[in-house]
C-alpha cells in the first residue's frame, strides 16, 4: 500500500517540514490536520494526499500557526459504521492534552458520519475550545452555541447523504439478487463474475459424489484430510477444515440458485456445477438433524447404550475398552450383567449381517424406510408451481407504474407469499431425499454384504443395528468363562425404528 507521504506534492512536503519546525514562542497556536477517505480502491493514498495538500497551504497562510505533529490520516476507513479509526482516536487524545487549538480538515464529514460520534466529537472539541477549519466547507467554532448548531446541521446533512447512499447500495444489491446476477464475491468453484473455475468445480463434484455414495460412507473430515494431503488450495490459500468444506458444499450457487440474506430469491444467471436435486440431497446429508438415530460421533463402541441389561433394562456402557457392563445405581443401572465386548460385538454383527444378506428381509427394510414417491412428486410439483408464479409476477410487474404506491405494496405482498411457498416446498423436497438408514444397501449382493459391513464407519453400523434389532444381555451362568450366546437375546424390530435413548 502506498503511503500519503509518498504522493503529496513537493511543495507540500517542503511546507510541512517548515510548519513542523516552527518555533512555539513565535507561532503559539498549535494546529492539527485530519484526513480521511472511506474507500481507496486503487490503494494509492491520493485522496488523503489532496486533503493534506490543501490543509498545509491553509496553515502556511497563518504566521502564528504551527504543527506540533504530522497529519493524522485514516486512509480507506469508513466513519459511518462506528469502526475503530486509530488516527482519529490519536487526534482526540492530542486535543485532550491541549496539543491542538485549531483542527484543519477537508470538511466535517471527514471526521464524522454518524450521530453518536459527531455528538461525542463536538462535545470534546467544544470543551477544549478547538476551532474547525474546513478547506472545502464552512469554518466552525465549537466553543460557541451558533458554531455547534451549524456543525449539527451540516452533520445531519452528512448523515443523510450516507444513509441515502446505503439505501441505494442496498436496493441495488436486492435488485441484482432478484435479477439472478452474481453477488460479486468470489466463491469456491466460480470467479467473482460467475464463470466456472473448472479445476475447483471438478473437486466440488468429486466431494459431492463421495458424500452421496453411501457404499463408500465418506465423512466430511475424510474429505478434509484428502484435500490437505493433495495440497489443494482454498480460495484464500488457507488450510481446509470441516467448516470450510461444509460452507462450500452448502452454497446454493453451486446449483445455480441466487440467494439474498440466506434465502433463495431467483435462478442464477450462471452455469450450475450440480443440479438442484443433488444440492437438496447434499444439504440433507450435511444437516446434522437429518442423520438417523444412533449417528453420534461421541460413541466409540459398537453396542454402547444399544445393548441393554436383562435385569433392569438400562443401556450397557463400555468398561476399560474390553467389557460392556450395566452401570451402577447412581447412573440408573444395577451392575447386574457384564459381557466381553469383542465376543458380544461379533455375535450381534453376525446376526445383523445374516439379516441384511437375506434378500427378502433387506427388501422389506428398504421398502419400509424409503420416502413416499407420491409425496416426492408433489413436492417437486409445488416447487415448479411456485417458480412459475414468481415468473408470472415478474412479467406482470414489468408494466407497473413505479410511482404507484398501492401497486408496489400489493406486489411486495404477492412476492412474499410466493417466496414463503417456495421455501416450504424446497424444505419438503429436501426432507424427502434425506439419507435414510438403509440407503445404498439395496444394491449390495448377499455375497458382498459381510465385506460391505466391515467397510462401514462405526456410527453407520450402530445406526443399522439400532434400527434393526434389540439386544438384551441376560445374567450369565456362574462359573462359565466363555461367551454364552444363550445369555444374549437379539430380536428383530417389527418396523424400522429411529428413536434414541
Report CA-CA distances (Å) from 487 to 167, 309, 327, 475: 73, 11, 18, 7
Domain ranges of the chain: 4-163, 198-290, 307-369+439-492, 373-432
b/e sequence 193-231, b meaning 16+ C-beta within 10 Å: ebebbeebbebbeebbebbbebeebbebeebbebbeeee
| 4-163: CATH number | 3.40.50.1390
- What is the rounded (10 degree) CA torsion for 240, 242, 248, 251? -160
Q: Are the C-beta atoms of 68 and 23 separated by less than 8 Å?
A: no
- Give every CB contact of residue 399 below 8 A, 6+ residues apart in sequence: none
Three cell numbers, residue 229:
494431503
The CATH code belonging to domain 198-290 is 3.90.1750.20
DSSP character string of 171-229: HHHHHHHHTT---S---TTB-TTS-B-HHHHHHHHHHHHHHH-TTT---HHHHHHHHHH
Question: What pTM was estimated for this model as a whole?
Answer: 0.43
pLDDT of the residue at 79: 65
- Please list the pLDDT of the chain residue by residue as tens digits (501 residues): 789 999 999 999 999 999 999 999 999 999 999 999 988 888 899 999 999 999 999 999 999 999 999 999 999 888 666 678 999 999 999 999 999 999 999 988 788 777 778 778 888 888 888 888 989 877 776 666 666 666 666 656 666 666 676 677 777 878 888 888 888 889 999 999 999 999 999 999 999 988 887 666 678 888 999 999 999 999 888 889 988 999 999 899 999 999 887 778 888 899 999 998 888 888 877 764 344 444 444 578 999 989 999 989 898 998 888 999 999 887 788 988 999 999 999 999 999 999 999 988 888 877 666 555 556 657 767 877 888 888 788 777 777 777 777 887 888 888 888 888 888 887 776 666 544 667 667 778 899 999 989 988 888 888 889 888 999 999 988 777 788 999 999 998 865 444 433
Nearest to 44 by CA among 2, 10, 12, 85: 2
The sign of the torsion formed by the CA atoms of 227, 231, 237, 238 equals: positive
Query: In which element (H, E) is residue 160 found?
Result: helix 145-178
DSSP state of 27: S
Grid coordinates given for 405: 404506491
Relative to beta strand 338-340, strand 102-105 is unpaired
Q: Among residues 367, 391, 136, which one has the least CA distance to residue 265?
A: 391
Grid cell 463408500 is found at 216
Amino acid at each position: 500500500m502506498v503511503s500519503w507521504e509518498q504522493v503529496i506534492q513537493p511543495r507540500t512536503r517542503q511546507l510541512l517540514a517548515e510548519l513542523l519546525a516552527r518555533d512555539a514562542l513565535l507561532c503559539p497556536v498549535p494546529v492539527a490536520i485530519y484526513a480521511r477517505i472511506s474507500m481507496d480502491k486503487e490503494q494509492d493514498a491520493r485522496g488523503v494526499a489532496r486533503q493534506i495538500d490543501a490543509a498545509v497551504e491553509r496553515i502556511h497562510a497563518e504566521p502564528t500557526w504551527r504543527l506540533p505533529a504530522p497529519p493524522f490520516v485514516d486512509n480507506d476507513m469508513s466513519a459511518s459504521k462506528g469502526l475503530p479509526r486509530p488516527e482519529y482516536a490519536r487526534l482526540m487524545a492530542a486535543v485532550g492534552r491541549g496539543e491542538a487549538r485549531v483542527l484543519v480538515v477537508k470538511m466535517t464529514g471527514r471526521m464524522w458520519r454518524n450521530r453518536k460520534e459527531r455528538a461525542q466529537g463536538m462535545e470534546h472539541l467544544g470543551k477544549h475550545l478547538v476551532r474547525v477549519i474546513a478547506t472545502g466547507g464552512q469554518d466552525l467554532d465549537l466553543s460557541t452555541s451558533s458554531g455547534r448548531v451549524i456543525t449539527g446541521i451540516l452533520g445531519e446533512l452528512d448523515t443523510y447523504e450516507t444513509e441515502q447512499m446505503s439505501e441505494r447500495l442496498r436496493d441495488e444489491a436486492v435488485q441484482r439478487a432478484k435479477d439472478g446476477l452474481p453477488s460479486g464475491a468470489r466463491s469456491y468453484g466460480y470467479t467473482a463474475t460467475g464463470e466456472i473455475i473448472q479445476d475447483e468445480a471438478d473437486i466440488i463434484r468429486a466431494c459431492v459424489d463421495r458424500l452421496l455414495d453411501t457404499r463408500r460412507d465418506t465423512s466430511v473430515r475424510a474429505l478434509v484430510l484428502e484435500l490437505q494431503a493433495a495440497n489443494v488450495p482454498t480460495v484464500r490459500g488457507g488450510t481446509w477444515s470441516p467448516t470450510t468444506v461444509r460452507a462450500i458444499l452448502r452454497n446454493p450457487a453451486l446449483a445455480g440458485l441466487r440467494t439474498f440474506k440466506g434465502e433463495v430469491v431467483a435462478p442464477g444467471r450462471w452455469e450450475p456445477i450440480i443440479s438442484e436435486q443433488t444440492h437438496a440431497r447434499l444439504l440433507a446429508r450435511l444437516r446434522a438433524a437429518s442423520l438417523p438415530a444412533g449417528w453420534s460421533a461421541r460413541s466409540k463402541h459398537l453396542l454402547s447404550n444399544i445393548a441393554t441389561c436383562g435385569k433392569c433394562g438400562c443401556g450397557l456402557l463400555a468398561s476399560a475398552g474390553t467389557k460392556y457392563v450395566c452401570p451402577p445405581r447412581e447412573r440408573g443401572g444395577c451392575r447386574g450383567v457384564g459381557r466381553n465386548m469383542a465376543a458380544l460385538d461379533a455375535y450381534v454383527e453376525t446376526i445383523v449381517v445374516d439379516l441384511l444378506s437375506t434378500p427378502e428381509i433387506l427388501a422389506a427394510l428398504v421398502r419400509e424406510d424409503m420416502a413416499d414417491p407420491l409425496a416426492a412428486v408433489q413436492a417437486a410439483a409445488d416447487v415448479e408451481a411456485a417458480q412459475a408464479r414468481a415468473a408470472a409476477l415478474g412479467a406482470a410487474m414489468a408494466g407497473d407504474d413505479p410511482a404507484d404506491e398501492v401497486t408496489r405494496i400489493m406486489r411486495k405482498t404477492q412476492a412474499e407469499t410466493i417466496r414463503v411457498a417456495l421455501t416450504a416446498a424446497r424444505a419438503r423436497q429436501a426432507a424427502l431425499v434425506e439419507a435414510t438408514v438403509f440407503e445404498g444397501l439395496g444394491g449390495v449382493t448377499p455375497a458382498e454384504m459381510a465385506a460391505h459391513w466391515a467397510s462401514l464407519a462405526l456410527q453407520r453400523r450402530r445406526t443399522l443395528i439400532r434400527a434393526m434389532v434389540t439386544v438384551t444381555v441376560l445374567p450369565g451362568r456362574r462359573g462359565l468363562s466363555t461367551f454364552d450366546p444363550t445369555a444374549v437375546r437379539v430380536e428383530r424390530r417389527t418396523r424400522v425404528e429411529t428413536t434414541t435413548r
